[in-house]
Chains A and B, each alone.
Chain A
Amino acid sequence: MAKEKPGLQLPEEINSILATDCGSTTTKAILIEKVGDEYRLIVRGEAPTTVEAPFEDVTMGARNAIREVEELTGRKLLNEQGIITPRQKDGSGVDIYMSTSSAGGGLQMMVAGVVKTMTAESATRAALGAGAIVMDVIAVDDGRKPHEKINRIRNLRPDMILLSGGVDGGTITHVAQIAELIAAAEPKPRLGTGFKLPVIFAGNKDARVHVRNVLGEKTDLRIVDNLRPVLEKEVLGPAREEIHNLFMEHVMAQAPGYNKLMQWTPVPIMPTPGAVGLAMQTAAKEYNTSVIGVDIGGATTDVFSVFGEYFNRTVSANLGMSYSICNVLLEAGIKNIMRWIPFAIDEADLRNRIRNKMIRPTTIPQTLDELVIEQAIAREALRLAFIHHKSLAVGLKGIKIERTIADTFEQTGTGQTYINMMELGMLIGSGGVLSHAPRRVQAAMMLLDAFQPEGMTMLAVDSIFMMPQLGILSTIHPKAAMQVFDRDCLIKLGTSISPKGPSGAAKPGDPCVTVKIKRGTGEEVHQVPFGAIKRVPLGVDEKVKAEIHPSRQFDVGKGNGHTVETELQGGVVGVLIDCRGRPLELPQNDRERRAKLLEWFKSVDMYPEEALAKYARVG
């Protein structure tokens, strides 16, 4: 008989929290405790994930990671049944345990709708926001013939399908067509060969009877409220909730060991990217600013953005630094990767190096040349993932999004309207290539080059990638999640000042911006010309008042030539005054381009000086 699940406690009773994230390769455990008035990260442990053969039990990896926490704290947290909760008088146990998961490939979905840029796009937003990888989007007008769509549905084997289409009370013909296509395909789920594929119908309520007739027998059909009840309204909450339910009931229940893991915690297990999204939203709220976050992994790159009430998430399933690194090469092209390298390199050699990284993904750069190459590839992966994010325009908050009629005719561009780089307050990078860059300024430069923020933006990296655990924690204890996020999770790199422009024909060397920084009673003046970048030291907890005067072809937030008075916050890098232009353009001529890169790298102290001198001599 299953052990009774631990009960959910109220936030004020929680002083000690254990959270794990079961990733595809590593399971990470963190212990958070109340120290004085604050919640802080105490220790972390990690161990290989054990979803795959020969172990096939996720709890083994979770136990191993937690055992590391036990060893580091000298406290007993595990017993035969699972986690000891609540915390005992003898100091053993924790008040609550929770977990996120992306093991076994995460949540893989297919979405379908009637019009690609309308209901299918809304369905995509719902799926992505719930933390899924969207394998394909099927729509009546997607340009494929019915048999091509059927073949695609048959071959993909998703974990579930989200079907939308039609406004309530409208015609049911088109959504019925899509339902019939799905029925004809007789799709099978990825996990559990004997099970029916879950299909969520979130379309025209008048079509429910027909959809049930067509799909009721062949699939595990769930019906929820229409995600586009009228053209101007998007209601993603019910569909997203059902995705989470099915993730728990079907995907997690089929994955090895999850039934046991689910018994350990009163909080439903959440898909890792969904939890990271929650952490980003909590951060945006707490810092009262717009946030873009990126997590670049070996296989995929997730981009999150929170602008006002709009939360967007996209996942570029094939952009990553190891498993998918060749896809970065394929999509960006070798020239775009080479443009960030300040020395001459044979194209064929570079291609072979990238392929060899793909087949031996756990290796690390040993030479500086290799590091520079890896960071060049990362810039392109990040840049492409951000373009993808902007183009998908994923407005994903589970509340009603009101749009004007004018907006409804511009569906493909909806996301772009949310992302305003000048308004962006914080840019957070995560993933090995950013979090583990030997010099923090390297991470800052990768973020600047790939995202090209405008105006004043705080740059940060996630120290040890604990955002998934903090995201799920924020669902029951936002205060604890935020305190740990601010003090232990984020490493603030510093503020970038990036004037937008030039609006005219400014030449490199022309005046771009003058930054006056007031320190104590003194004032520093930094004049940076167009085409240059300057690094000004300012410590992590330091804040200074500054006047920023852009020249007339440049804008730092109040229009061309208008001064902005603001407070600048420091970081481990300091303040970066980036006058390289927005958009940032590199010289076409190879020799000039390499010289320019070396000038920038030297100016911000990005790599060891002697190496840059060597590149300059050889280049």
Chain B
Amino acid sequence: MAHAYTPGLKVTEKAVIRKTRRLPIPGEVLVAEGDAVSPDTIVARTKIPGNPQTLSIANLLGVEPGDIKYFMVKNEGDRVKKGEVIAEYKAFFGLVRKTVESPVDGTLEMISTVTGQVTVREDPIPIEVTGYVEGTVESVLPREGVVVKTEGAFIQGIFGVGGETTGEIAVLASDPDEVLDAGSIGPEHKGKVLVGGSLVTAGAIKKAAEVGAVGVVAGGIIDTDLIAYLGHDIGVAITGHEDVPVTVIVTEGFGRMRMAERTFGLLKDLSGMKASINGATQIRAGVMRPEVIVPGYKPKKTLRDQDLSLGLVPGTPVRIIRQPYFGRLAVVVDLPPELQVIETEAKVRILRARLEDGTIVTIPRANVEIIEE
């Protein structure tokens, strides 16, 4: 029988992390296998065709589409400069003159005598991919990019906004229950990744942006504060491309939610170290969660190995991820194999778990996640 395995988010002091750094279209890889890379190292580069500008020459000159070729000053393939005349119409010995100028620097790509349109393509746009993390190039994907390998601490959040960035970790909360508000943030936090406890307020994010902090990590965020920060609502769970000054990562969920002790403790240990963070979240097949990566971290204590392949067994620490015990931590006591009827009258697989206060509760197995420690 398959194990009931409910993986949680990874929060680990020591992990081997591989990051595939891929170009959107084929290009040139600039590093070789074994090379050391930093977050800013450009590992691959390509050029995407420049933006095309279409001009309706027929309309602008007042001629038939089929006739525009007689009025073109430039031909397909010619380089053109912004403001340079590309088509000209003259009548009455030059007394009536109409011209069309190129709106951009680029190349005249197409003259269509069917539509009377001309396309001028701007110069190619360079696209670069950086290393994102401090590490070494493990393998090269020819013309596409590289796989960068690093070792260090790795923390996954549950939801985030904003893209990749790097900065030094500064823990501003003294315990995982503390709310991060604007009052704790100052100019000394420029370029840093700020860590709060149970909640980051709208004011704190605003202040973080003002002082030039690059990221915020906290247990929870209020739904309406997030909307206010983004300037729009989020419909589907695909994030990471928002144009926001500060990448925000929440580790537990929406609302005020005490950050898991283990996550908070690890982030505290990582204070002052340089982290690569990314808020990108995608919840669907091929789930992507936001992350904090700190390469080179050497844990102070030896880790206790946890055999997650066993899945849920009596003694497994879990976090409850749905009402009525949402956010509470517990330890599995018992896993009855048979389906049981819960309050909704649905017949589901359940487990019994002991909450931190000693109470034993029944929870659907789907509503817990294993705390990896």
Contact = CB atoms under 8 A, between A and B. Distances in A.
A356 B109 contact: no
B236 A181 contact: no
Nearest to B286: A52
B254 A318 contact: no
A172 B65 CA distance: 12
Interface centre among B54, B114, B345, B348 (most CB of A within 10 A): B114
A184 interface: yes
Contacts of A361: 283
Interface stretch (B130-138, B178-186, B200-208, B322-330): B322-330
A52 B287 CA distance: 10
Nearest to B117: A180
A367 B348 contact: no
A146 interface: yes
B236 A299 contact: yes
A299 B283 CA distance: 10
B285 A103 contact: yes
Interface stretch (B30-38, B45-53, B89-97): B45-53
Given A326-B233, A360-B322, A367 B54 contact: no
Contact of B54 (A173, A181, A324): A181
Contacts of A360: 158, 253, 321-322, 369
A438 interface: yes
Contacts, number: 160
A572 to B, nearest CB: 15
A331 B158 CA distance: 24
A245 interface: no
A608 to B, nearest CB: 7
B322 to A, nearest CB: 4
B26 interface: yes
B253 A364 contact: no
B224 A326 contact: no
Contact of A366 (B109, B236, B323): B323
A371 interface: yes
Interface centre among A176, A349, A436 (most CB of B within 10 A): A176
Given A185-B52, A366-B363, A356 B25 contact: no
Interface stretch (A129-137, A186-194, A231-239): A186-194
Contacts of B344: 365-368, 370-371, 438
A53 B117 contact: no
B52 A184 contact: yes
B106 to A, nearest CB: 12
Contact of A608 (B53, B115, B345): B345
A360 B115 CA distance: 51
Interface size class of B (residues with CB under 8 A): 35 or more
Interface in A556-574: none
| Chain B interface main SS type | loop
A528 B301 CA distance: 73
Nearest to B220: A352
Contact of B223 (A53, A355, A370): A355
Interface in A326-367: 326-327, 329-331, 348-349, 351-353, 355-356, 358-367
Interface in B128-166: 144, 158-159
Given A356-B255, A358-B283, A438-B344, A176 B54 contact: no
Given A188-B25, A361-B283, A367 B323 contact: yes
B3 interface: no
B105 to A, nearest CB: 16
B115 A352 contact: no
B236 A326 contact: yes
Contact of A363 (B119, B159, B255, B322): B322
A439 B25 CA distance: 51
A366 B25 contact: no
A184 B121 contact: yes
Interface string A1-42: 000000000000000000000001100000000000000000
Contacts of A358: 237, 283
A599 interface: no
A150 B65 contact: no
Interface residues of A, number: 63
A330 B121 contact: no
B109 A184 contact: yes
Contact of A362 (B25, B114, B224, B366): B366
B285 A366 contact: no
B303 interface: no
A363 B283 contact: no
Nearest to B55: A146
A193 B117 contact: no
A499 B4 CA distance: 48
B118 to A, nearest CB: 10
Interface centre among A51, A360, A361 (most CB of B within 10 A): A360
B234 interface: yes
B236 A324 contact: yes
Interface in B274-291: 281, 283-286
A24 B285 contact: yes
Given A52-B286, A352-B222, A359 B237 contact: yes
Given A177-B115, A323-B283, A351 B236 contact: no
A147 interface: yes
B284 A323 contact: yes
A214 B321 CA distance: 54
B236 A359 contact: no
Interface in B332-373: 342-346, 348, 363-364, 366-367, 369
A193 B363 contact: no
B231 interface: no
A421 interface: no
Interface string B200-238: 000000000000000000000011100000000111110
Nearest to B53: A147
19 contacts: A177-B117, A180-B119, A181-B54, A183-B119, A184-B54, A194-B26, A299-B284, A322-B283, A326-B233, A348-B222, A356-B254, A360-B321, A367-B323, A368-B344, A370-B344, A371-B344, A436-B346, A438-B346, A608-B345
Given A352-B253, A356-B254, A359-B159, 18 more contacts: A49-B285, A52-B285, A150-B54, A151-B51, A173-B114, A177-B115, A183-B110, A299-B284, A348-B222, A348-B223, A356-B255, A359-B237, A363-B321, A363-B322, A366-B342, A366-B343, A367-B343, A368-B343
Interface of A: 24-25, 49, 51-53, 103-104, 146-147, 150-151, 172-173, 176-177, 180-181, 183-186, 188, 193-194, 210, 214, 298-299, 318, 322-324, 326-327, 329-331, 348-349, 351-353, 355-356, 358-371, 436, 438-439, 608
Interface of B: 24-26, 49, 51-54, 65, 109-110, 112, 114-117, 119, 121, 144, 158-159, 222-224, 233-237, 253-255, 281, 283-286, 321-324, 326, 342-346, 348, 363-364, 366-367, 369
